[in-house]
Amino acid sequence: MHTQVGIIGAGPAGLLLARMLHLQGISCVVLESRSRPYVESRIRAGLLEQGSVDLLTETGMADRLYKEAMVHEGIELVFDGQRHRIDITALTGRKVYIYGQQEVVKDMIVANLAAGVPILFEAQASEISGLEGERATIRYTHEGKEEVLTCDYIAGCDGFHGICRDAIPPQLMRGHDRIYPFGWLGILADAPPTKDELLYCRHDNGFALFTMRSPTVSRCYIQVPPDENAENWSDDQIWSELETRLGKHEGLTLSTGKITQKSVTAMRSYVAEPMRHGRLFLAGDSAHIVPPTGAKGMNLAISDIYVLSKALVAFYKKNDASLFETYGPTCLRRIWRAQHFSWWMTSMLHNLPDASPFDAKRQVAELYTIATSKAGQTLLAENYVGLPFEM
Ligand code: FAD
Ligand code: PHB
């Protein structure tokens, strides 16, 4: 089998690229190691920047999103027994959207399959080669058979644990890494959201985040040790800890209900440079990871694909390969800004295990600096709502 662009991974990055190439008449095949039900039910991100929603709209994949997403104009920072609202829309003119990543993925799969774009589920790529030659090759296993896909270019959209990043020769690759000494215990619960906007809480016991998936489903996170086993937490313990970290506030009562899912995610910042080697382009989590505090992971995957699709379209439509050279550097400018923002939000809101009382006081002072100054609020809002795709 031969195609113009071989895409490894049917997450938001791979599926968006497939759609954008198809709309320009460029052929591609998507290989995904997991089954369709698995990728459609994997609970992950939930917050889309305005720019991401605009791109989903332009590519005809936002019809259901407009019916079901919850549109938010602000967030609250909760610390030192107080609540401070950041009015994102007043400060930036833009909004954010709550819509589960698995819903984005479902919409992208439907759009691609309806247009006849081949997505092979349970097709595990095992090796890529020919990156510096005339033609790239992907070896993969599908329905028990070893198969080969040849292509002009490979899009490595295979997430953090995929195979593509490791195909770049180690002497050319630099990984920038930071591992945080904590993780998030995330739950889904049949409970209406505690508040109609997201609550980011700093507490001496650790961070807590109150978010949502629908008017009847809450999504909440609490900071826990990185190797914590979710099963060590009973439902009562989780609700009690969320209540403590939220604190007592007039007119705000914790909404509880049946917990339907719980899991622990480790927290990490990582950037791979370069993002391109010969015929291989890395995009999304295969090239970078952010701690989820800033809600940037899925949005960065989407902005990488915006830049990559432009480069591929320029090549196939105008025989102009110049954007291949600038793909990585263009993405990395935005990625590093998002890295900084995610690290900043994380360090401002979490409890470091070795923090001294000085550190705790300084952290609260920093939150006051941001929350009580229009300049501080604007800095947070501009980054939270998303920077331009190209900068
Ligand atoms: P993925 O979604 O990981 O997709 C990669 C795909 O490649 C997978 O389907 C995988 O099965 C497949 N694959 C891997 N190896 C192979 C192989 N060898 N062959 C074939 N297929 C392969 N981001 C936000 O923007 N906002 C948020 O609010 C947010 N919250 C988050 C909360 C949590 C708890 C977590 C864990 C993450 C959160 N993120 C958030 C991050 C976001 O989920 C990721 O950044 C996003 O999934 C990246 O998309 P991707 O397409 O690059 O990679
Ligand atoms: C989510 O809804 O899962 C979510 C929202 C905002 C974040 C992180 C996760 O910062």
- The two tokens of residue 62 are 């936002």
Q: What pLDDT score does 24 carry? A: 98
Contact at 8 Å (CB) between 291 and 267?
yes
Average pLDDT on 51-57 reads: 98
pLDDT digit string, tens, across residues 114-162: 999 999 999 999 999 999 999 999 999 999 999 999 999 999 999 999 9
- Distance CA(208)–CA(349), nearest Å, equals 9
Note the ligand closest to the C-alpha atom of 349: 2
Phi/psi at 22 (5° precision): -60, -40
Average pLDDT on 67-77 reads: 98
Q: What pLDDT score does 202 carry? A: 98
pLDDT digit string, tens, across residues 31-46: 999 999 999 999 998 9
% pLDDT > 90, the chain: 98
pLDDT digit string, tens, across residues 269-302: 999 999 999 999 999 999 999 999 999 999 999 9
Ligand 2 atom 4 nearest Cα: 46
Average pLDDT on 262-267 reads: 96
| Residues lining ligand 2, Cβ inside 6 A | 45-47, 198, 211, 219, 292-293, 295
Average pLDDT on 339-368 reads: 96
Could you tell me the distance, in angstroms and rounded to a whole number, from the CA of residue 204 to the centre of ligand 1? 31
Q: What pLDDT score does 82 carry? A: 97
Query: Ligand 2 pocket check: which of 47, 103, 349 to mutate, most ligand atoms within 8 Å of Cβ?
Result: 47
Average pLDDT on 303-329 reads: 98
Average pLDDT on 213-233 reads: 97
Q: What pLDDT score does 312 carry? A: 98
Could you tell me the distance, in angstroms and rounded to a whole number, from the CA of residue 187 to the centre of ligand 2? 12
Contact 339 CB / ligand 1 (< 6 Å): no
Q: What pLDDT score does 290 carry? A: 98
Strands (E), 143-257: 145-156, 174-190, 198-201, 208-214, 217-224
Q: What pLDDT score does 361 carry? A: 96
* Confidence band of 191 (pLDDT split at 50, 70, 90): very high
Note the ligand closest to the C-alpha atom of 290: 1
Q: What pLDDT score does 16 carry? A: 98
Could you tell me the distance, in angstroms and rounded to a whole number, from the CA of residue 315 to the centre of ligand 1? 27
Reported as type and span, the H/E element at residue 154 is: strand 145-156
Average pLDDT on 102-122 reads: 98
Contact 157 CB / ligand 1 (< 6 Å): yes
Question: Which ligand 2 atom is at minimum distance from the Cα of 211?
Answer: 2
Note the ligand closest to the C-alpha atom of 211: 2
Average pLDDT on 202-222 reads: 97
% pLDDT > 70, the chain: 100
Q: What pLDDT score does 70 carry? A: 98
pLDDT digit string, tens, across residues 248-262: 999 999 999 999 999
Ligand 2 atom 2 nearest Cα: 46
Average pLDDT, the chain: 97
- The two tokens of residue 125 are 């790529």
Contact 51 CB / ligand 1 (< 6 Å): no
- Distance CA(360)–CA(351), nearest Å, equals 8
Catalytic residues: 72, 200, 292, 296, 384
Ligand 1 atom 53 nearest Cα: 159
Query: Ligand 2 pocket check: which of 103, 185, 221 to mutate, most ligand atoms within 8 Å of Cβ?
Result: 221
Note the ligand closest to the C-alpha atom of 267: 1
Q: What pLDDT score does 315 carry? A: 98
Q: What pLDDT score does 246 carry? A: 98
**What does the radius of gyration of the chain's CA atoms come to, in whole angstroms?**
21
Could you tell me the distance, in angstroms and rounded to a whole number, from the CA of residue 264 to the centre of ligand 1? 15
Question: Which ligand 1 atom is at minimum distance from the Cα of 34?
Answer: 11
Nearest CA-CA partner of 128 in 287, 284, 28, 7: 7
- Distance CA(109)–CA(106), nearest Å, equals 5
Give the global pTM: 0.97
- Distance CA(340)–CA(50), nearest Å, equals 20
* Confidence band of 236 (pLDDT split at 50, 70, 90): very high
Could you tell me the distance, in angstroms and rounded to a whole number, from the CA of residue 267 to the centre of ligand 2? 13
Could you tell me the distance, in angstroms and rounded to a whole number, from the CA of residue 152 to the centre of ligand 1? 25
> How are beta strands 198-201 and 208-214 bridged, if at all?
antiparallel
Could you tell me the distance, in angstroms and rounded to a whole number, from the CA of residue 295 to the centre of ligand 2? 5
Provide the 10 A C-beta neighbour count for residue 216: 12
Q: What pLDDT score does 25 carry? A: 98
